[in-house]
Amino acid sequence: MNSTKKQCQLQRLLCDEQPDFLAIQETKITEDNDIASALRPFLFRYESCVIRAVGFSAGCFLFLKKCVNLEHLQVVIDEQGRFISCDFTLSGVQWRVICVYAPNNVRQTEQFFQFLRSYVECDKVLVVLGDFNCVCDERDKSSRTGYSDSSVSILKYITDTRGLEDVGALQEERYDLRYTHFQASSYSRLDRIYVSVDIIQQAHGYRVQPVFFTGHYLVTIKIGKREKTNSKFNWRLWKMNRKLLQDEQFVATVTELLSSLHE
């Protein structure tokens, strides 16, 4: 997000995907003028929650689509550029959406997850998403080295005790859905979306897709009723109804049409 080229590419992505909410981590933008410039192309359609980077590291944006009727918005950010919590009411339900960008130092990650813990202890419907910079399952990384440390234990405790489900972990075993971050020959599923167990049945359409202007993939889900897919007509599936040949009106109409073709 710290370059005009990336901002234009993000604009194109938003036009294609049309998300209601979008969480972006590691913007690396520290100055107010640069933040204002980066946000300007998106403010026509989106409200934005912003936390600046610290020392050219971290920084997060959370975009909220203006046409979604959100009420009673409250936003909390941290001082390290790694956390945005947004409370709102939608359709009479109280929600808390949390954007996270965890440190990659184990000690700092422990402290960060302990901080996160205090915000997931609530009676709201939770959506916690972002770059967790760790994996909770050995299948989520290519390296054979140990995947678990003390920070992972804290995150697992939080998700287990607060009834948070990792949407990606519930998907079928498919390679194209597994990993979200690629670096040289290693790959892992660092970018995840957790939702309250109360709405897990409403979460669907999980997708992981490459975004060429970043080393991380775009992870998306839909929450709500599943859209009905209209089946398209396919000539290969067409079959003649022989009883139509016994219908005098049908036979007369077809005969007339065929006769007109010869005239």
Beta bridge partner(s), residue 46: 65
- Interatomic CA distance for residues 207 and 220, integer angstroms: 5
> Can you give the pLDDT at residue 250?
81
pLDDT tens for each residue of 48-73: 999 999 987 899 999 999 999 999 99
List of residues 6+ apart from 214 with CB closer than 8 A:
6
Q: How far apart are CA 98 and CA 17, in angstroms?
A: 21
Backbone φ and ψ for 102, nearest 5 degrees, come out as -75, 150
Q: What integer is the mean pLDDT of 87-102? A: 97
Q: How confident is the model at residue 235 (pLDDT cuts 50, 70, 90)?
A: low
d(CA 84, CA 98): 6
133 is an annotated ligand-binding site residue? yes
Determine which of 122-131, 138-147, 162-171, 229-238 has the lowest per-residue pLDDT on average.
Answer: 229-238
pTM: 0.83
Domains in the chain with CATH codes:
4-234 (3.60.10.10)
**Partners of residue 21 on adjacent β-strands:** 64
Nearest-angstrom CA–CA distance, 9 and 16: 11
* For residues 197-202, average pLDDT: 94
Three-state secondary-structure class, residue 67: coil
Q: What is the mean pLDDT of the chain?
A: 89
Residue 87, marked binder: no
- Can you give the length of the chain in residues? 263
Q: According to the annotation, is 26 in a ligand binding site?
A: yes
- Percentage of the chain beyond pLDDT 70 is 90
Q: Per-residue pLDDT averaged across 128-155, rounded?
A: 86
pLDDT for 141 beyond 90: no
